[in-house]
Amino acid sequence: MDNAQLLVSGLANGCVYGLIALGFVLVYKATEAINFAQGDLMMLGAFVTIGLANTHYMGLPFWIALPVSLGIMGALGYLIDRLIIRRMFGESQVAVMILTIAMGFVIRFVAGLIWGHEPHTLESPFAGRDVRIGGLVLGMEDVAVIVVTLLLTWCLYVFFRRTRLGLAMQGASQNQLAAYYMGIPVKRVQGNVWALAGVAAGIAGILFAVRGSVDPSTGLMGIKAFAAAVIGGFGSLPGALAGGLIVGVIEPFASRYIAAGYSQVVPYALLLVVLIFRPNGLFSQVRAKKV
C-alpha cells in the first residue's frame, strides 16, 4: 500500500514533468528548435494564475482566472515567436537554444520583479480534498493533475496526427522550403505552435502551483523536465509523457530505497545512460544524418 501511495504521487509529479516536456516536444516537432525557456514559461504561467486568482492579488474566482491566464500565456507564446523567434527563422538549432536560455533568464528576472522571490501557492478548489479508491487516499489535486495531463497528451497527439494544422506543423519542421512550396504558411504555423506551447506551459504551471509552492527559480525544474523529454525522445508526444512519468516515478522510489545523497542523482544518471546507449531517446525518430 505504501508503494502504491508512492507510485501515485510519483505519477502526479511525473505528469507535471511530462507537461513541461510536452511543451519542449511541441516546439521541437513544429519548428525544430529547442525551447529552454519552457520551464520558466511554466513558472510564469503559475504566477499569472496566482496573480489573477489569489485573494492577495486580483481575487478572481478560480474558474474565471483559469481561462484568462491560459489566454494570457497563449498570447505571450505568440508574442515571443512574433517578436523574437521569428527573426531567427532558418538559423541553426544551437543559436535558437541559446536565445531561449537567455529568454529564460529574462522571464525569471521579470517574475521576480513583479511577484518577489518568496514562494507562493495557488488557492484552488482542489486543495485539501481527498479521493478514496479502495484504501488508497489520493489528494484531489493529484487526481486532477493526472487526468488533465492524460487528456491533454491525447488531444495533442490526435491534433498532430489528424488535423490539417497539425500536419502542416510537421511538414514545416521537416523542410521549411518544401513546406513553403506546398503552400503551408510556415511562419504563421510557427506562431501558432508557440502559442500552443505557451498554453501548455500555463496548464503545467497551474497544475504545479496547485500541488506545491512556486518561486521564480522554479523554472530551473525545466532541466529535469528536459531529462524527461530526452529519455522519451524529442519529437514524440507520448514519449515525452512517458519520459516524464519515468522520471517522476523513479524519484520518490529512489529517495525511499537509495541512501540520501545518491537518490537525486538517479534521474540524471538515467538521462546519461539513455543518451549513451540510445543517443536519440527511447522513442527515437532519427535514423541517419544527411549532409
Question: Nearer to another protein by C-beta: 43 or 53?
Answer: 43
Backbone CA torsion sign across 244, 248, 254, 255: positive
Task: Give residues 271-290 in contact with another protein (rule: CB under 8 A).
Answer: 271-272, 275-276, 279-280, 285-290
Phi and psi angles of residue 262, each rounded to the nearest 5 degrees, phi first: -85, -25
Answer for which of 136, 175, 188, 257 binds another protein (CB under 8 A) is: 175
Nearer to another protein, 179 or 242 (CB): 179
Assess 91 for contact with another protein (CB under 8 A).
yes
Alpha-carbon distance of 107 to 216, in angstroms, equals: 9
Q: Which residue from 4, 64, 95, 114 is in contact with another protein, where contact means CB under 8 A?
A: 95
Check residue 218 and report its DSSP letter: G
**Which residues from 111-150 bind another protein, rule CB under 8 A?**
112-113, 117
Sign of CA dihedral 76, 207, 98, 231: negative
User: How far is CA 33 from its chain centroid?
Assistant: 15
Of the ranges 71-79, 118-126, 175-183, 245-253, which one interacts with another protein (CB under 8 A)?
175-183
Choose between 89 and 154: whose C-beta lies nearer to another protein: 89
Residue 218 binding another protein, by CB under 8 A: no
213 burial (CB, 10 Å; 0-12 / 13-18 / 19+) is: middle
Phi/psi of residue 139, nearest 5 degrees: -70, 140
Cβ proximity of 66 and 49 under 8 Å: yes
Quote the DSSP letter at residue 57: T
Q: Applying CB under 8 A, which of residues 51, 104, 139, 219 lies at the interface with another protein?
A: 104
Q: How far is the CB of 85 from another protein (least distance, A)?
A: 10
- Angstrom distances, CA of residue 181 to CA of 29, 31, 160, 172, 177: 20, 17, 21, 10, 6
Interaction with another protein in 24-43: which residues (CB under 8 A)?
32, 34
Joined grid coordinates for residue 225: 523536465
Nearer residue to another protein within complex by CB, 213 or 284: 284
Q: Considering the complex, state which of residue 38 and residue 124 has its C-beta at the smaller distance from another protein.
A: 38
Q: Which residues bind another protein (CB under 8 A)?
A: 32, 34, 84, 87-88, 90-95, 97-99, 101-106, 108-110, 112-113, 117, 173-177, 180, 216, 220, 223, 226-227, 230, 234-235, 261-262, 264-265, 268-269, 271-272, 275-276, 279-280, 285-291
